Structure 1
Amino acid sequence: MAYDADFGEWVREHFQALGRLEIKRMFGGAGVYASGVIFALLDDGVVWLKGDEALGEAFEAAGSRPFTFPTKDGRTMSMSYWTLPETALDDPDEAVDWARRSLAVAVRKASGKTPKSATSSARRSERRA
């Protein structure tokens, strides 16, 4: 992954209707956060938006491709991130629509997670009972 700060500024401008975004470097690329939730990745000039099964189908229909990477053993792994559709690259309104849908998926997934400390506490309580 590679992150270019100028590209990050373009993303902020393109998605400005979402409000304040945080862009944090990670693994050579960057994560894009809104309200503390990561909903996009930036890598080599590509915006990758978080998706689920339904949104993934919409991304695929719009010509997006999934985020994939090779593993050490030669397999190809995929993550639930998709490229911003090409038509949205020149249309901030369309880009924000995709980003809002992606953010909704990210918020839904984040809200379903149990914090590790709560999980550990629950397990300890179960063992004591």
Structure 2
Amino acid sequence: MSTFTLKRFQEQALDALDKYLRCARLQGAQAAFTGQTGYGYHAEPFGDTPCVCLRIPTGGGKTLLAAHAVGRMAREWPGMAPKPLALWLVPSDAIRAQTLAALSTPGHPFREALAAGCGDAVR
């Protein structure tokens, strides 16, 4: 399978993530969040564990974007381990199985996006 071409709004979401991560690395999470969104910042609920959320509409390719985002976070987030851990939340066991199969299948666009960002050692 070949990789999917990202739509403009998907590229914009990943660009916003990159901008936030670069700013967070230089100025900290609070300054990055406030500067980029204009909203007040609430401390991360998990201590030093970085938390980021991209809001994408239904049918917007959230799984594909998440697969691209993991590698970007591994490269850009301050203190991120070389082997990031991603938590995928899904609404049903059927979607969990479908997503896991796609992320585990060499050649699938989701797997390719993960491998491009994190290397072939994705588990």
TM-score scaled by structure 2? Answer: 0.25
Higher helix fraction (1 or 2):
2
Q: Considering only CA atoms, is the larger Rg found in Structure 1 or Structure 2?
A: 1
Question: Quick one: higher RCO (CA 8 Å, sep 6+), 1 or 2?
Answer: 2
TM-score scaled by structure 1? Answer: 0.24
